[in-house]
Structure formats: C-alpha cells, structure tokens
Structure 1
C-alpha cells in the first residue's frame, strides 16, 4: 500500500509535469499554412483586420462573410494576396439556413473549416427605456445565435478530425453591463457564457475555444453604431477614438490571431479592460454603484419613441469641429478598415 507522503509527492510531480507540458504547448504557435479559416463579419472593422492578420501570419485559405455585398467585394480585393485564396460570401449569421449554406460553400471551395472566428456584431446605444424588444432580439440574433449557429455547423467536422479552433469575439460589455448598452451587453454576456462553457467541454476532444474580450478599439465602428438618442454619440465616439482609452485595432487583431494560434482560453484586450474586469471581480457592488452614477449623467430617453440613427447620420446632423478633431484617429480607422467611404 502506497504511503500518503509518497502519493502526495507523486501527484505533485505529475501536476508539475502537466503544467510544464501545458506551458510548452502554449508557446508553440499553430501553423496556419494548411488551415482554412472563416471570419464572420469579416468585411469591415475588426473582422476585416483579423482576416488580414490571418493572411499575414500564414493562413492561405480564408473565407469572410457579411451582409453588405459592396463591402464584401472591397474586402476580398483588399485581402487578396499571392498564393492566398480569399472567398467572400454573403450571409446573415442570424439565419440558420444561410449559415448552413455558408459552411457548405466554404467546405466545397476551401475545405473543412479549421479555424472559425465568430465576430459579426451590431451596436445599439441608448437608455434602456428607449430600447424595444426588437432591439434585444436583433442583438441576440446576431451576437448570440450568430455565434452559436456557425459553431454548431462546424463542430461535427471538427469532432471527426479531433482538431479545430473556435474564436469568439465577445466584449468588455460581456463582463460588465454598462449603461446605455443594455441590449448589446445582454447578447455579449450570452456569447461569453457559451464560449467559456464550450472551452471546458471541447478541450478533451482536441478542439480549442478562445474567448476574446476586447475593450474599446479604434475601428471606426462608432459611425455604424445605432443611436436612439443623439446625445449619446459624442461620448461613445470619444471613447472609441482617444488613445489610452481605446486600443489600436491592428494591434488587437495581431493579439487575437496569436491567442488563437496558442489555443488560449481567454484574452482580454487593452489595459483599461483588464483593470475593469479585475476590479469588477473583486468589488462588483462598488462597480455597479459607480455605473449607476454614470447613468444619471447620460441623456434621458426621448418622450416619444424615436427611430435609431447611425453614428454617421448623427454626425451629419450635429457637425462639431472639436468633436471631429478629437475623433480623427477613429475616423481614419474607418477609412482604412473598410467601414466607410468617407
């Protein structure tokens, strides 16, 4: 019969060996040269940059999908390079039939999906009282069901091969629910929960799942966000533009692809986002009280329901030279990352 001390030492040695092996594997980056990657919402912004970074880091078969045909065509042209197959396919990821057709087309043209990046998203900004059930449904359709459905579509093939990588782009809004982003945070919380659970369950099958938690980034997305109240636009645009608060999107894309190649469980992007997650984990009640004070300073809901406007439309109605100057970095990002023709 083994002595208790020897058993403890044996378990300790085994634990150390497993830790060393895990660390070694984390250092080894996946070779993308023989992989097929699919990026949803890949025609503009962060998705476009992730697709480009996959190409730069050696992926030779990349598929992107989105709803806007013109943006898809431009993205395909911009991403194309010698020796790289870039396939651009229209798809609404909230529609299960379209998703199933998308995966079928990618497999026929490029082969089984080895790396899936669920990135498609929509941002609705406004006080909770101004949001409708339709707003919540749209957010969940795109940012939860639009994550779940592509994942379920690629999993059977990945399970047969005992290999594959799934990357889910969530948000700091999926860790901390902030005022005037209620529908967005609801969907991102759901996506984060699904992604974290999936990572735990699929690890034994040889399939890696990475949950990406970006903070504010300079992608130009503020121009395409939907605003229920014009008064929300200046603060949102500044937050998505100013250095120190927002992160360079190209740097974020590089970190995401490296994390995917490592098979990391989670990556939180930007120092402010990391600090916010840690503080919320230690003192959630205090963070909630602070956010409650912030909510009091934000615009109130309109007396009558209003149609949401894109950030671009709000900017055209409320031209402000100072704001345009302060958001110059993000506006430049919008032009560079296929967000707009401005």
Structure 2
C-alpha cells in the first residue's frame, strides 16, 4: 500500500463527519466510476465514515479489486461489480443481482464519465456519442433501476456527479458541457419527484480535478486544480448539509456568482483562458 493510500486508511474518526456517520452507519453505498479519479476517492472517503458495505462499479475489474482490498483493510465490506453502463441489459441484471445478494442500497453515487476535448468544428461524432452514452444514458439507466427500489423502500440518497461545466460552458468542451448541464436538469427533476418517497437527490459539481481523465486534456489558464480527495471531502460535507448542489472550491463559487451577475464578462474570460488547440 503506498503512502497516499495509507493516509486514506489511517484518517479515521474525524469529528466533522459525525452526523453523516450516524446517518449511514451500517448502510450500503454503490459508487460508479470507482476504479479511478473522483469515484475512487469518494469510495475511500465513504469507507472512512463507518458505512457497512461498498458496491464498486466500473469497467476495469483489476483496478476495482485493488480498491476493494484497500476498502476492506479499513474494515468495510467491498463488492466488485465490473460493468459497462452503456450495456442496458447487463446493467439491469447486475443491479437486480446486487439488490438480491446485498440488500437495500441506501446511497448511489453516479461518478462514471468520460471527456473529449476538441473545437466543435473538428469534433468527432464517435466521441460525442461516447460522452452522451456514458455521462448521461449510462447514469440514467442505473439510476432508474436503483431509484425505483429506493422509492419502494421509502429511503435513499442519490448523488449525480456533474461538473462546474454543468453551470458554465467552456470552449473546446461543448459536448461534455452539454452532458453535464443535462445532469443538473435531470437531478433537479428527480429531486422534486422523489422527495415524496424520502429519496434525496443532489448534484456534485467539481471544477478541474487532477484525474486520469483530464491529464490528456489541455487545461484552462488560471484554473486552480483540485485533488480527487478534496472533491470527495466536499461531497461528504455537502451530504451533511443536505445541499441540493455541492460546488467544490472557491473558484467554482466565484464562477457561478460571476455567471449570475455578469455572464458576458465570464464568457470573455473563458474564451481568453481556453487552450488553443491546433
């Protein structure tokens, strides 16, 4: 186990998590996109809150198994579910089996996603279709299956990972921004519909985060890069506060405020700070 993972495993019992610990003690969470990046960090952070069981979903089984070993070293049961969320039939079978074998899923964190960067006029339809299929349709598919079961149990919490680009669109990221805007609309609609069933729905909006997904992208100037652990900690804090939308970092709050007050100014800043992709 490397030093970073040891730090995760050893940082238990922090008082700022106490209320959330009490809420999910002995409960089960499912995290998609758990093999890397923000999903990986969220799974580890949840493991430190006293949750009983984590269902870990992603396409990369080997990385999921590494994460499961780490989670279990903290004392939390981990279940590996290798799954491609674009395969609707496989997802339906896997969720039915997970519910049968592991009982009620109390928390769903939809973190799976991909990003392609390109000027729109040179964008490739194949990349666009992948972003829509994973970021939006895949999230819809698994959420629909789990939300129905949560509603029947009258208990649950759903977190959809959007992005600051779901609030503020950026040049060279048109389709990615479109899927993240769509996630916010989807989340808001679900929050209204599922409240009657005692199922809460929130959106997590990280800004630029240092993950495998973004390391191949050209970064925007002046953006302070977050770590996955910072995003995961913000999620726990947002769950404690029952926030409908969880912004991460001061730059995100500033960008959203600027977009409300002077959207024309923010657009100029984004165009100027956008990478020049040849």
Deviations 1:3-36 (A, max 9, x none): xxxxxxxxxxxxxxxxxxxxxxxx9535212211
Please report how far the alpha carbon of residue 220 of structure 1 lies from its aligned counterpart in structure 2 after TM superposition: 4.3
- Alpha-carbon contact 1:66-1:72 (below 8 Å) kept: yes
Please tell me the root mean square deviation across aligned C-alpha atoms, in Å: 2.1
- Change beyond 3 A, Cα 1:82–1:49: closer
For 2:33 and 2:131, how far apart are their aligned partners in 1?
14
What corresponds to 1:251 in structure 2?
Answer: 230
Aligned to 1:323: none
Q: Corresponding residue for 2:169?
A: 177
Unaligned runs of 5+ in 1: 1-26, 301-342
Matched, 1:298 2:276: yes
1:268 aligns with 2:260: no
State which of 57, 60, 72 in structure 2 corresponds to 1:68: 60
Matched, 1:283 2:275: no
* Shift, 1:187, TM fit: 0.9
Distance 1:28 1:75 in 2: 25
1:1-342 correspondence to structure 2 within 5 Å: 28-29=19-20, 31-81=23-73, 83-223=75-215, 225=216, 232=218, 235=219, 245-295=224-274, 298-300=276-278
Between the aligned partners of 2:250 and 2:75, the Cα distance in structure 1 is 37
Q: Residues 150 and 199 of structure 2 are in contact (CA less than 8 Å); yes or no, is this contact kept in structure 1?
A: yes
Structure 2: how far apart are the matches of 1:92 and 1:260? 27
**1:110 shift after superposition:** 1.7
- Give the Cα–Cα distance (whole angstroms) in 1 for the partners of residues 260 and 77 of structure 2: 43
Q: Kindly tell me the number of residue pairs found equivalent between the two proteins.
A: 260
- Taking structure 1 as the reference length, what is the TM-score of the superposition? 0.71
- SS of structure 2 residue aligned to 1:247: coil
CA distance in 2, matches of 1:120, 1:248: 17
1:288 Cα shift? Answer: 2.2
Moved more, 69-78 or 110-119: 69-78
Structure 1, residues 201-220: CA drift from partner, whole Å, max 9, x if none? Answer: 22232111111111122334
> Which deviations, in whole Å up to 9, do the C-alpha atoms of 1:245-273 show, x marking residues without a partner?
01232122122023234432111001111
8 Å CA contact retained: 2:36, 2:212:
no
Which piece of structure 1 moves more, 86-95 or 247-256?
247-256
Does structure 2 retain, via aligned residues, the 8 Å contact 1:165–1:263?
no
179-188 vs 69-78, greater mean Cα deviation: 69-78
1:193-236 Cα offsets, whole Å, 9 max, x none, are 1012211222232111111111122334333x4x5xxxx3xx36
Q: 1:94–1:145: 8 Å Cα contact kept in structure 2?
A: yes
Deviation at 1:92, TM superposition (A): 1.0
Q: CA deviation at 1:160?
A: 1.3
Instruction: Please tell me whether Structure 1 or Structure 2 has the larger radius of gyration of its CA atoms.
Output: 1
What is the DSSP-based 3-state SS (H/G/I as helix, E as strand, rest coil) of the residue aligned with 1:59? coil
- 8 Å contact kept, 1:45–1:219: yes
Listed one character per residue, the Cα deviations across residues 87-111 of structure 1 (whole Å, up to 9, x for unaligned) are: 0111111221122122123213321
The gaps in structure 2 that reach 5 residues or longer are 1-17
State the secondary structure of the residue aligned to 1:253: helix
Q: Is the 8 A contact 1:31 1:261 kept in 2?
A: no
